Amino acid sequence: MIPRNTKLKSREIQVPGDKSLSHRSVLFAALSKGKSKVTGFLEAEDPLHTMSAFTKLGLKTQKIRPGEYEFESPGKDKLVGHNVELDFGNAGTGIRLSAGLICGLPGVNAILTGDDSLKKRPMGRIIKPLMSMGASIAGLGEKETAPLKIQGKQLGAYKYESPIASAQIKSCLMLAAISSSTELEYSENILSRDHTENMFRFLGNKIEYLTPLHFKISPPYVLNGGEFKVPGDISSAAFFLVLGVLAKEGNLLIQNIGLNPARIGILTTLELMGAKIEVLNRRIECGEPVGDLKTYPSTLKKVNIPEELIPSIIDEIPILSVAGLFTEGGFEIRHAEELRAKESDRIHTMVSNFRALGIEVEEFQDGYALDGTSKHSENVWASLKTGKRIPILSFMDHRIAMSFLILKALSGFKLEIDETSWIETSFPGFEELLKGCLNE
């Protein structure tokens, strides 16, 4: 285990708005005829790309103040675009959800593209079911990857049993059905985040649940716009939760965090590991639970992370793995092959960076394991503080860069992260906030 010496200021902090909800607020505003409003919008590259894509198709946007926007859409049937190129940057959620929505818009033909990381990410998982709905969509890259060429058209009713518990696939198909005013029956094997369902209901629609993992939506859909309130992103708070629990002293109060049950796996897992985190001021906003999170320095021990928790911690596994280095017994994650389909192949990224630090890690197809308690590791920790700087490769992945910056703050290791600009995709101001928490 890495020795812990970091002292924090006890303070209240806020993290930027939820990325998943920010993307969805633009998408539902575009589908709705008339005005919508959002507060707490994440003004980071990923959701801003989604916003500018729909602006090109006819959504009017006006910034009122930071995080607050007014939208006005002509309605889904009047969104148009001829041979437009829409750039989604680094955002898998942006491109996949927008692809579904655009497939159902007969007035639009578009190329959806992004950066080199996005162009490597699997798109067959949405192309196949969308084509079964009657969509005209093709992945122009190698192995059916982006750029995606779409000619919007009327889609048909569809029933899909998803082999992957993915909110991006689920939301993509829901948005395709909604934009095309057609029926969708959908089931998954483990509940993935259900923000699309919540926002759809918040606008006045019904979802018929056949089981908790199997539902049906049917037109006519209510799309008259709404006022969306976006809370802070628990996936961004996760970095400060780990910092707070692993600090030697100090408490962080992270305010206004979305606590959707399908997103709080980070709290469940840290608590199973022995962390003390208090949830205060619980409330419901826009159909989503919200609260404040207070961290206490805690001693962590290794636990088995059950497969059912994986979808709800999928974005937090890099930072949980960092916590694992400070955990009695080490850390193991399995059943998480989906990590290979994220902004980087996060199994490879975490394993190769840990190995660069001299940490022994066993890699599996669906995860990895490390035992931070061996004698060998203790010598490694000492030399990492005093030896030469160790380069950390971020692989165009914001969460990898942030996870290793937290490791650096907690351990005092001489790490040099090759590129931190990816953090702008989800968490502008991360490094300043981190600095402001440290009691140096």
Residue 105 backbone dihedrals phi, psi, to 5 degrees? -110, 100
Closest C-alpha to 280, from 302, 251, 313: 251
Judged by CB, which is closer to ligand S3P: 112, or 246?
112
Listed ranges 31-39, 116-124, 127-135, 166-174: which one lies at the site for ligand S3P (CB under 6 A): 166-174
Say how far apart CA 6 and CA 410 lie, in whole Å: 6
Torsion angle, alpha carbons of 174, 179, 184, 187, to 10: -10
The CA-to-CA distance between both ends of the chain, in Å, stands at 23
Candidate residues 171, 353, 377, 411; the one interacting with ligand S3P per rule CB under 6 A:
171
- Minimum CB distance to ligand S3P, residue 396 (Å): 14
Residue 237 is a binding residue for ligand S3P (CB under 6 A)? no
Q: List the alpha helices (DSSP H) in 117-233.
A: 124-132, 167-179, 195-202
Residue 168 is a binding residue for ligand S3P (CB under 6 A)? yes
Judged by CB, which is closer to ligand S3P: 288, or 315?
315
- Minimum CB distance to ligand S3P, residue 181 (Å): 22
Candidate residues 50, 90, 117, 166; the one interacting with ligand S3P per rule CB under 6 A:
166
β-pair type (214-217, 208-211): antiparallel
Binding mask 16-45 for ligand S3P (x = CB under 6 A): ----x-------------------------
- Minimum CB distance to ligand S3P, residue 253 (Å): 25
Sheet-wide strand order for 288-296: 11-14, 252-258, 288-296, 276-285
Report how many helices (DSSP H) and strands (DSSP E) the chain contains, helices first. 14, 21
CB 416 within 8 A of CB 357: no
- Minimum CB distance to ligand S3P, residue 173 (Å): 12
Judged by CB, which is closer to ligand S3P: 174, or 410?
174
Judged by CB, which is closer to ligand S3P: 27, or 203?
27
Closest C-alpha to 120, from 402, 418, 397: 397
Judged by CB, which is closer to ligand S3P: 171, or 327?
171
Judged by CB, which is closer to ligand S3P: 292, or 315?
315
- Minimum CB distance to ligand S3P, residue 97 (Å): 7
Closest C-alpha to 102, from 74, 124, 81, 129: 81
β-sheet bridge partners, residue 258: 290
- Minimum CB distance to ligand S3P, residue 329 (Å): 27
- Minimum CB distance to ligand S3P, residue 171 (Å): 5
Angle subtended by helix axes 195-202 and 167-179, to nearest 10: 30
What is the longest distance spanned by two Cα atoms in the chain? Answer: 66
Determine if residue 395 is left, alpha or beta; phi over 0 gives left, psi from -120 to 50 gives alpha, anything else beta.
left
Judged by CB, which is closer to ligand S3P: 229, or 342?
342
- Minimum CB distance to ligand S3P, residue 168 (Å): 4
Listed ranges 105-113, 145-153, 162-170, 302-310: which one lies at the site for ligand S3P (CB under 6 A): 162-170
Helix (H) or strand (E) segment spanning residue 284: strand 276-285
Answer yes or no: 194 catalytic: no
Number of residues that bind ligand S3P (CB under 6 A): 11
β-pair type (367-370, 108-113): unpaired
Residue 349 is a binding residue for ligand S3P (CB under 6 A)? no
Say how far apart CA 340 and CA 428 lie, in whole Å: 25
Residue 123 backbone dihedrals phi, psi, to 5 degrees? -115, -10
Candidate residues 39, 61, 90, 93; the one interacting with ligand S3P per rule CB under 6 A:
93
HSE toward the beta carbon, residue 332, CA cutoff 13 A: 13
Interacting residues with ligand S3P between 114 and 153 (CB under 6 A): none
Candidate residues 176, 314, 320, 434; the one interacting with ligand S3P per rule CB under 6 A:
314
Residue 345 is a binding residue for ligand S3P (CB under 6 A)? no
Judged by CB, which is closer to ligand S3P: 35, or 340?
340
Residue 425 is a binding residue for ligand S3P (CB under 6 A)? no
Residue 167 is a binding residue for ligand S3P (CB under 6 A)? yes
β-sheet bridge partners, residue 280: 292
Cis ω before 220 (30° cut-off from 0): yes
Residue 315 is a binding residue for ligand S3P (CB under 6 A)? yes
Candidate residues 144, 271, 338, 371; the one interacting with ligand S3P per rule CB under 6 A:
338
Task: Check 115, 315, 366, 371 and give the catalytic one.
Answer: 315
Closest C-alpha to 336, from 139, 165, 153: 165
- Minimum CB distance to ligand S3P, residue 339 (Å): 9
CB 240 within 8 A of CB 10: no
Q: Which residues bind ligand S3P (CB under 6 A)?
A: 20, 93, 166-168, 171, 192-193, 314-315, 338
Active site residues: 315
